[in-house]
Structure formats: structure tokens, C-alpha cells
Structure 1
Amino acid sequence: MKAVQFTEHGDRDVLEYGDFPDPEVGPDEVLVDVKAASLNHLDIWTRRGLPGVELEMPHIPGSDMAGVVTEVGERVSRFEAGDRVALIAGVAGGGDEFSRKGDPTLAPDFHIIGEHVRGVHAEFAAIPEENLVPVPEGVPWEVAGSASLVFQTAWRMLVDRGELRPGEKALVLGASGGVGHAAVQIADYAGAEVYATASTDEKLEYAKECGADHVINYEEDDFSKEIRKLTDGRGVDMVVDHIGEATYKQSLKSLVKGGRVVTCGATTGPDPGAGLNYIFWNQLSVIGSTMATPGEADEVLDLVWDGTFEPRIRETLPMSEIDRAHELIEERQGFGKVVVIPDSEL
């Protein structure tokens, strides 16, 4: 088969799309003919190299995809050949306590397909059946292959970990990215008054289309000061911050007393300083969140499949143009998800 791969960490020039051995299907695995996959910022960090993460080389990146089942292992019971499926990338471990009914993100050896083990930017992928969900007929492959990671992540952040309530004010940072544009839609669906930041007026218009009530160009304005103006000095109840060092202190300053920051990542760096003076004096909460439970993923993906939520596609490319796909993410070009399709499917 053909697959995106790299044999060493580095810049985009380490990526290639070439021959790779066909995957072998284990007894609990499903072989998927990949129809569409997509990128996340996670793919950039994996390619560059994550501290403490040792990869088997060559590594295939990718934590989002959808396709058709072509073969199932002998112990597989949930799927059969011909089924349409999408990937849920979080893998549990540690025994029955962390089964599909539990919370795999709390498992002792929780890991992510595409980050810690080989991923799915390839013509075929062998995936544990517990990491697949059915995709209804009529859902476009681009939608099915780009929704899972960002919508489950944003849903857990806002609904389950952050407990966003109707009438609250929520600020979503980086609203043009995958998690950001999903979070705007979910906050609007939850009945919040939604504030969003992005770097260009064009991106801000897209954020409004996704449900933002107020938008701020962070290249032109200090968003924490703008939030105070827009809320008559009050602040917001929740900040969705997946950016990290560059925004963390402004996020704390944007909150009402008793407010909360919810974070699932740190694309500009993980060590912004604790800001303890803001936290204890204003009685703030900083809440971490990673991926989702299977139940949470099922809940939000049902809302994607029925059209309530929509993954916006900034560009669709053949997998052979994977360097351009990474460039779009790294350079923050466009709004929404970048989709890659095996060249054999074009």
C-alpha cells in the first residue's frame, strides 16, 4: 500500500508518500479501506518530535479517518465487511476498569493512534474494533474523516469537563482551527453567548457563521481587554484555550470571578507560568481535558452525522501533497480542517 511516513523527526521535508507494508489484521482488529483522513495540530508535533514519546520508525501519522471495512479479525463482533466506519483515536489500557463503557483517557497506558503508535494517513489501516464507530449512509467521506478528534475533544471540554450552561458567556480562542471551530458550534448549541478570537477578518466571519456572537481580531487587539469592554467589565464564565503560553495569562484576565479555563493543548508552549495570583484571588478553575469517552464521542458524532454540527473543510488534498497539508496547519492558513485522500481514491 501507499502511506504517508517519516523515518526521522524534523521539518516538512521529512515527509514522504510511498510504499509501506500492508497492515496485518489482529484477532480484535478491523481492516479499513481509507476513503478520507484529516490533519490535526497533533500531526505537526508528532512529526517534529514530542518529548518522552519514542516512535517506531518509519512512523505513519494521522489520528482522523473514515472508510469501508474490508476484513475483520476472528474476535470482532461489532463490524463486518462493507460497513462504513470512522476512527476514535484514543486507546485505553489497564484492564476492564477502562473498557468501552469507562473513561479510556484515565487509563494507565492511554495513548493515541497516530501520536504514540502508527496512524491512519494511508490507503489501509488495521484498527482495534473498540476504536471505530459506524458512519451512516449519506454522510460524505470528507465529513466523516475530519470530525471525530476535534468534535469529541471540544464536546468533552465544554459539556462534560467545563459544564457549560445556557446563558453563560464563553470565549473560544483560535476559532479558525479544528478544535476552535468545533468549540464555537458546541458553545452556541449549549445556549451560551459565544465570543471568539481569530487572526483575520475573514476567519472571524467564518466564526460568526459557526455561531459566534462577538468576534475579536487578536492580531489587532488584546483580547482580554476587549472582553472586558464587550461584557461591561464583567468577563466571561469560560475560556476555551488550546494555545497555551501565548494566551494563558490573558485567558485568566478574561474570566469573571469564579470562572474557568478549560484546556486540551498548548500549541505555543506548555509552561506559561501558573498565574496563581489571578487564580486564588479570583477563585478561578483551570481544567484539563483530553479526547473523550466512547459515550461522549458517540453523543457528539450523532450531532455531526445529522448535520447539527459541521466540520468546515479548508482544503482537500491528495496524500501525495502531505507537505502542503502540513504547511496549511503550521502557517495557520484558512479555516477548519485539512483533508487528505489516498491518491488511489482520486
Structure 2
Amino acid sequence: MKAVVHAEKIGLDGLTLTNMDVPTPAEGEVRVKLKTAGLNHRDLFVPNRHKLEDGPLILGSDGAGIVDEVGPGVEDVHVGAEVIINPGLGWKENTPAPPEGFEIVGLPFHGTFANYIIVPAENVLPKPSHLNWNEAGVLSLAALTAYRALFTRGQVKQGMNVFIPGIGSGVATFLLQFAKAVGATVYVTSRSEVKRQKALELGADVAIDSAAEDWEAALNGVKMDLVIECVGAATFNKSLAQLKKGGTIVTFGSSTGDTFQFDLRSFFYGQYNLLGSTMGSGEELEQMLEFISTNNIKPVVDTMYTLDEFEAAFDRINKAEQLGKIGFIIEK
């Protein structure tokens, strides 16, 4: 089978398209013949974290396809089922934090950028009927991350003011769609006029030019109940400054750096809440799928590539040119 793998050298230069053996499911596992897969920022970091001595690794965490073989002992998943992949391994119930041993498909285990993938039977769920294959294949990781950050951690509710800096990524577009679906007022930022306009079309109430505008001036005194911060060091303090007293900031991303300083005294006098979040549990994934089905929410798909075009796909996400999700068409 064809697969995008990391091997031979550290970094994105170590990626190659090659042939791998078609895997066979063991007890409790299923094999999915993938039709589409989704590219995430995580896939940019894996080539720097994967140990070359562990052998070639197939990248990719999101995917959708058809079950074509089940291993011994699998009774509740059947050949021919149209499914999406739950990328989280070993996190079933909604707990305050992932359990020990929690992993994500695509590192350290083989991922979805291939014709086939083997996963535990509990890690496939029925493809939502309102999604096409392109939409289903790019859904899980980003939408689950957004759902946990917004609902489980952020406790978003109707009427809240919600602030999302750096609109454009798959997670950010899901945050916008989810928050609007529950009746929140949503403010976003971006350097890109195209992304700001698209955010307004998706329902954002205000879109701020993060390069040219002072955020506080642009908000004209409006303060936020909830900030979902996924950019990192470059925007954290500016995001924090938009919170109302007693407000909550949820953080799950650090693409612009992990280390920065903020005013601790102002923080505790403001009675702010700072919460970390990361992806989500199988229980939350099921809740998210029900939520998007009830509200007819679909992923914003930016560009779909073939596996042969993986270099162009990685280049696009690395330059943050996308609005929404980038994906691969593996089989039409």
C-alpha cells in the first residue's frame, strides 16, 4: 500500500511516499480501507519527535473509510461499515485529564496517510450521514479538540462573549461554528483579510485585523467571558487582556512558542481562570458527533490533495495559508 512515512532524517525532509505492507488486524482490532485523511499541525511536529531507530512511521491522525477486515473477538463492528477514526488511544471516559498511556494515532503508532490503518475496534465510529467523505476524513482531531476546549473546559453558554485569536486553523473554525451554534457572540482575529471575511461568512460577529488594529480599541470596551487561546506566546497576553473580571481563558496551542511572562498580580486580582486542554475522550467525541449532526455543522475544507502531493499539503499548512482543514483523497 502507498503511505506517507517519516524515515531516514529528522524533520519534514525525512518524509517520503513509499510502499508498506498491508497490515492485518489482531484480536480486538479492525482494518479500515481509508478514503480520506486530514492533515493537522501535529503532523508538522511528528517528524521532529519520531525516533528514527524505531523504523519508518506512517503519519496522520484523522481519517475516514470503510471497514474491510475485523480481527478475532470483534463483534460490534462489521465489514462494510462506513466509519471515522477516533485518533485518541486509551482515553474512553471524559476525565479531568488523559489517563496514563494515552496516545494519538500517527505517533508512536502508524497513522492515516496510507491506504489502510489498523485501530482498536472501539476507535471507529459511524460516519455522520450529513458529511461527505472529504468532510468526514478531516473531522475528528480538530473538532474534538475544539469541543473539549469550548464545552468541557470553557463551559460555553448562550449569550457569552467568546474570543478566538488566529482564526484560520481547523480547530479555530470549529470553535467559531460550535460557539455560534449555542448562541454565543464570537470575536475573531486574523492578519488575513480573506480569513476575516470568511470568518464573518461563517457567523463571526466581529473580525479584527490582528496586524493593524489594537484589539482593545477594536472591541470598544467589550470584554470577553471566554477566550480560547490556541496561538501561544505571541498572543497570550493580548488575549488575556480582553477577558472580563472572573472570565476564563482556555489554552491548548503553542505554535508561536511555549514560554512567556504575564502579570501574576493582575491575574489573581482579576479572578481569572486559566485552563489547559488537549484533544478529548471517546465519550466527548460521541457527544461532538451528535452535536454536529443535530446542528448540521460541517468542517470547512480548505484543499484536498492526493498522497502523491503530500509535499504541497505540508507546505500549505506550514505557511498557515489554509482556512479550515487540509486533507488527502486516498481513494475516490
**TM-score, normalised on structure 1?**
0.90
> Partner residue of 1:124?
116
Answering whether residue 75 of structure 2 is matched by residue 83 of structure 1, we say no
Paired residues of 1:35 and 1:341 also in contact (CA < 8 A): yes
SS of match in other structure, 1:271? coil
SS of match in other structure, 1:208? helix
- What does the per-residue CA deviation read over 1:214-257, in whole Å, with 9 as the maximum and x for residues that have no partner? 0011122243x24xx42x42421111111111111111111111
> Partner residue of 2:239?
251
> Partner residue of 2:33?
33
Aligned in 2, Cα 1:321/1:24: closer, same or farther, shift over 3 Å?
A: same
Letter in 2 for 1:63: S
Letter in 2 for 1:277: R
> Partner residue of 1:109?
101
Answering whether residue 329 of structure 2 is matched by residue 331 of structure 1, we say no
Letter in 2 for 1:113: V
Say which is worse superposed, 292-301 or 247-256, in terms of deviation. Answer: 292-301
SS of match in other structure, 1:309? coil
> Partner residue of 1:95?
none
Superposed displacement of residue 104, structure 1: 9.2
Match runs of 1:96-175 below 5 Å:
100-103=92-95, 105-137=97-129, 139-175=131-167
Distance, in Å, in 2 between the alignment partners of 1:254 and 1:55 is 46
Paired residues of 1:147 and 1:304 also in contact (CA < 8 A): no
Aligned in 2, Cα 1:293/1:166: closer, same or farther, shift over 3 Å?
A: same
Aligned in 2, Cα 1:55/1:76: closer, same or farther, shift over 3 Å?
A: farther
Aligned in 2, Cα 1:161/1:242: closer, same or farther, shift over 3 Å?
A: same
Give ranges in structure 1 of 5+ residues lacking alignment.
93-97
Distance, in Å, in 2 between the alignment partners of 1:300 and 1:142 is 18
Aligned in 2, Cα 1:15/1:67: closer, same or farther, shift over 3 Å?
A: same
Answering whether residue 189 of structure 2 is matched by residue 197 of structure 1, we say yes
Aligned in 2, Cα 1:305/1:324: closer, same or farther, shift over 3 Å?
A: farther
**TM-score, normalised on structure 2?**
0.94
Answering whether residue 52 of structure 2 is matched by residue 71 of structure 1, we say no
Paired residues of 1:167 and 1:193 also in contact (CA < 8 A): yes
- What does the per-residue CA deviation read over 1:111-136, in whole Å, with 9 as the maximum and x for residues that have no partner? 11113322111000001112111114
Match runs of 1:212-223 below 5 Å:
212-223=204-215
Q: How many residues align?
A: 332
Paired residues of 1:264 and 1:289 also in contact (CA < 8 A): yes
Out of 244, 247, 253, the position equivalent to 1:265 is 253
Aligned in 2, Cα 1:191/1:307: closer, same or farther, shift over 3 Å?
A: closer
> Partner residue of 2:223?
235
Letter in 1 for 2:310: I
Out of 284, 287, 291, the position equivalent to 2:275 is 287
Superposed displacement of residue 189, structure 1: 1.1
Distance, in Å, in 1 between the alignment partners of 2:62 and 2:190 is 24
> Partner residue of 2:45?
45
Distance, in Å, in 2 between the alignment partners of 1:274 and 1:121 is 40
Percent identity, please: 33
Distance, in Å, in 2 between the alignment partners of 1:104 and 1:84 is 31
Paired residues of 1:175 and 1:196 also in contact (CA < 8 A): yes
